[in-house]
């Protein structure tokens, strides 16, 4: 292959391109008057510490020659080639045009050449028919300019189209007549750099300080419209790790660590914490660990490095060491064997040559890990006091996910204590909750629905379709802003439309799921959702409009057999207002939930 490319200056993009072209059989020439520094060695695959202080062009050329059989294809010039020139006090630039004629392409590292210099060379290249490329790596940003003058490509979409000619713009044209993408907001076209940066950060949730610090890595600032800013701020901002990882992939590309920008695997990196990553290098290390060891390992390492874990580990380790040292002979052996057995059951590898102290430390780490994992999860910001049923379900699922994975009774008791403590902090009554599931259900409710003051119903304006006797018929709007809080209840409780998959699964949800375990607890929580308070008093039965109305307000006695679906044993004074509100939602699932919980509570 007779093609030959001249590379002026140095940067990561240049080095990657050099390597690829050399391996493809293309001739290359490096030209710069720079020397190898520590950053060059740090970010280069080819340069070594022994090259420090030596000519960059010569050192890199020597390494590239080791990769090919024909050494003559790799050459170097220890000169920048583009000189400053002053004629009659006018500053201009000069380059030996005979050198340009020897190459098909000239590639600039824009870090080392001012734009006027590159523009001057670009004008000469156009006259000589030589293509020009300029690239710049700027931390996690970068840009690439190419002027291939006129380039012909084959149109693959349509066989009838044949070849297509592309006319490229020169450096001078682009700088004198700026153009913006069609999707570019016109309001950004004439803004200064900092205003543009602030505007974009506000739109996508980025942090100006972080972006500026990345720009300062190379001491240069690019125009927002020319840089790969989206790599850091992220078009898809639903996961921070996706944003940072996208930036890293761009950074690795422009610092020759990748030949192309690989596709981001959201499944692999989603949800990985960036805790402890204070520099870009820390993030790179975290991503490398993910690639090599996997998400589970990285999560565990992050967990173990946290101050909370270390404090807990030190306490548990001190306790176990004290216990171990207080024992003698066979008691010590038995103590260690018990720890080994517990570790083995958790699939922790314990070698035969492991010392007692190492086993104690491994056991302490495992117990610390279990306790950390058994910590009561904090309220999700999107759920806190949102007053939505779906948020209530989501919050309960979050707590139950931790609760169901706790195997140790001691840790379980600690978890339940955390639940009770938070209930007390929220001033939520839980004295009637007898089971852990009831406490969790109550806490989920307390996190989502604020505690309200005693409320007295106003006089009714509208009568419910099914009139409930012995109750002043207040409407939902009078009693409680149900629509404002829950929206369309059918979208939440409807069949296959919300948190309940189907009506027939209600019994499973009430009895087995745990979310709504404890009928009295469920009944009270449903009541609170509608702004109704219920107490424990004599049991009575709701009477509907189509039934015989008791005389003088006395209710008919409940039959001994199970009542039909429209009837149930209730506390008349307290549950009739609540039943009316549930009935007015016209939601069968919510009604069945109420009927079942009320019935079971009345039988207790």
- In CATH, what number is assigned to the domain containing residue 45? 3.40.50.720
Tokens of 51: 């090259």
In a domain, residue 181? The reply is no
Same domain, 114 and 158: yes
Q: Which of 428, 451, 474 is the last residue of a domain?
A: 451
The structure tokens listed for 575 are 């549950």
In a domain, 396, yes or no: yes
Q: Do 147 and 127 meet the contact criterion of CB atoms below 8 Å apart? A: no
Region 149-169: mean pLDDT is: 69
Say if residue 360 is in the same domain as residue 379: no
- Rounded to whole angstroms, the Cα distance separating 386 from 518 reads 24
330 and 196 assigned to the same domain: no
Nearest to 277 by CA among 265, 290, 263: 290
Confidence grade of residue 140 (pLDDT, cut at 50, 70, 90)? low
Q: Which domain holds residue 86?
A: 4-176
For range 300-313, the mean pLDDT? 82
**This prediction's pTM:** 0.36
Q: In sequence order, which residues have a C-beta less than 8 Å from that of residue 308 and are 6 or more positions away?
A: 372
Q: Is residue 407 part of a domain?
A: yes
- 441 and 494 fall within a common domain: no
* Pick from 10-14, 567-571, 577-581: least confident: 567-571
Phi, psi (5° rounding) for residue 94? -140, 140
562-578 b/e with 16+ CB inside 10 Å = b?
A: eeeeebbbbbbebbbbb
**One domain, residues 361 and 382:** no
Residue 434 lies in a domain: yes
Angle between helices 12-23 and 240-254 (to 10 degrees): 60
- For residues 104 and 5, is the Cβ–Cβ distance under 8 A? yes
Q: Of 304, 326, 356, which one is at a domain's C-terminal end?
A: 304
Task: Give residue 289's pLDDT band: very low, low, confident or very high (50, 70, 90).
Answer: confident
Instruction: Mean pLDDT check: name the lowest of 61-75, 226-240, 266-280.
Output: 226-240
Q: Are residues 270 and 387 in the same domain?
A: no
Residue 53 included in any domain: yes
Q: 228 and 158: one domain?
A: no
Query: How large is the average pLDDT for residues 113-139?
Result: 87
Residue 438 shares a structural domain with residue 467: no
Q: Are 392 and 498 in contact (CB under 8 A)?
A: no
443 and 460 inside one domain: no
In a domain, residue 21? The reply is: yes
Q: Based on the domain organization, do 387 and 316 belong to the same domain? A: no
Instruction: Choose among 46, 39, 40, 120: nearest CA to 81.
Output: 120
With a cut of 50, say whether residue 483 has pLDDT above it. no
Name the average pLDDT for the chain. Answer: 69
Partners of 5 in beta bridges: 28, 105
pLDDT, tens digit, 9 for 90 and up, residues 486-536? 434 433 333 333 333 333 333 333 344 444 444 555 566 666 566 566 554
Clarify whether residues 564 and 462 are in a common domain: yes
Residue 331 in any domain: the answer is: yes
Question: Looking at residue 432, what DSSP letter applies?
Answer: T
Least confident of 75-84, 153-162, 200-209, 300-309: 153-162
Structure tokens at 475: 């409407």
Residues 364 and 382 in one domain: no
pLDDT band for position 308 (50/70/90)? confident
187-191, 259-263, 391-395, 506-510: which is most confident: 391-395
543 domain residue, yes or no: yes
What value does the mean pLDDT take over residues 154-179?
67
Q: How many domains are there within the chain? A: 5
What's the Cα-to-Cα distance from 213 to each of 223, 254, 286, rounded to whole Å? Answer: 16, 18, 20
Say whether pLDDT at 270 is over 80: no
Q: 85-94, 115-124, 216-225, 289-298: lowest mean pLDDT where? A: 216-225
Final residue of a structural domain among 154, 176, 198: 176
| Model confidence band, residue 144 (pLDDT cutoffs 50, 70, 90) | confident
Locate 540 and state its tokens.
Answer: 């009575």
Say if CB 31 and CB 54 are below 8 A apart: no
Residue 60 has pLDDT above 70, yes or no: yes
């Amino acid at each position: 292959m007779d093609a030959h490319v001249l590379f002026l200056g140095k940067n990561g993009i240049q080095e990657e391109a050099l390597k690829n072209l050399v391996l493809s059989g293309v001739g290359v020439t490096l030209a710069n008057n720079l020397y190898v520094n520590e950053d060059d060695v740090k970010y280069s695959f080819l340069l070594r510490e022994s090259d420090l202080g030596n000519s960059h062009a010569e050192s890199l050329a020597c390494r590239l020659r080791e990769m090919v059989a024909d050494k003559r294809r790799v050459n170097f010039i220890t000169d920048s080639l583009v000189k400053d020139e002053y004629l009659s006090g006018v500053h201009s630039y000069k380059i030996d045009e005979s050198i340009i004629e020897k190459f098909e392409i000239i590639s600039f590292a824009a870090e080392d050449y001012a734009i006027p210099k590159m523009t001057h060379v670009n004008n000469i290249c156009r006259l000589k028919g030589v293509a020009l490329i300029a690239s710049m790596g700027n931390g996690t940003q970068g840009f690439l300019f190419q002027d291939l003058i006129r380039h012909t490509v084959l149109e693959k979409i349509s066989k009838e189209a044949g070849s297509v000619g592309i006319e490229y713009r020169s450096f001078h044209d682009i700088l004198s007549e700026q153009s913006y993408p069609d999707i570019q907001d016109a309001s950004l076209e004439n803004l200064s750099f900092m205003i543009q940066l602030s505007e974009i950060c506000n739109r996508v949730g980025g942090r100006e300080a972080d972006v500026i610090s990345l720009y300062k890595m190379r001491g240069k600032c690019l125009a927002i419209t020319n840089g790969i800013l989206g790599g850091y701020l992220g078009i898809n901002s639903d996961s921070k790790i996706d944003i940072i990882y996208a930036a890293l992939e761009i950074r690795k590309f422009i610092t020759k660590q990748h030949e192309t920008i690989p596709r981001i695997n959201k499944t692999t990196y989603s949800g990985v914490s960036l805790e402890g990553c204070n520099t870009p290098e820390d993030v790179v290390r975290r991503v490398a660990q993910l690639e090599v060891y996997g998400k589970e390992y990285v999560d565990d390492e992050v967990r173990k490095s946290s101050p909370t874990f270390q404090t807990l580990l030190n306490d548990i380790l001190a306790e176990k060491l004290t216990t171990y040292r207080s024992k003698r002979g066979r008691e010590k052996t038995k103590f260690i064997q018990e720890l080994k057995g517990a570790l083995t059951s958790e699939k922790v590898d314990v070698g035969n040559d492991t010392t007692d102290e190492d086993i104690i430390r491994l056991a302490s780490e495992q117990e610390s890990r279990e306790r950390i994992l058994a910590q009561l999860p904090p309220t999700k910001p999107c759920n806190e006091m949102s007053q939505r049923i779906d948020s209530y379900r989501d919050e309960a699922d979050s707590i139950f996910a931790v609760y169901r994975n706790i195997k140790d009774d001691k840790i379980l008791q600690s978890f339940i204590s955390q639940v009770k403590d938070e209930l007390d902090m929220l001033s939520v009554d839980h004295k009637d909750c007898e089971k852990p599931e009831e406490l969790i259900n109550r806490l989920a409710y307390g996190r989502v629905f604020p505690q309200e003051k005693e409320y007295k119903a106003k006089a009714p304006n509208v009568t419910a379709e099914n009139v409930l006797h012995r109750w002043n018929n207040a409407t939902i709007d009078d009693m409680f802003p149900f629509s404002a809080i829950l929206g369309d209840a059918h979208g939440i409780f409807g069949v296959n439309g919300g948190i309940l998959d189907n009506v027939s699964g209600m019994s499973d949800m009430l009895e087995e799921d745990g979310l709504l375990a404890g009928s009295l607890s469920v009944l009270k929580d449903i009541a609170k959702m509608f702004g109704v308070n219920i107490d424990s008093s004599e049991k009575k039965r709701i009477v509907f409009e189509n039934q015989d109305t008791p005389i003088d307000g006395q209710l008919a006695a409940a039959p001994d057999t199970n009542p039909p679906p429209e009837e149930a044993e209730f506390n008349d004074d307290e549950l009739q207002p609540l039943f009316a509100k549930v009935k007015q939602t016209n939601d069968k699932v919510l009604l069945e939930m109420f009927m079942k919980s009320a019935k079971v509570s009345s039988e207790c």
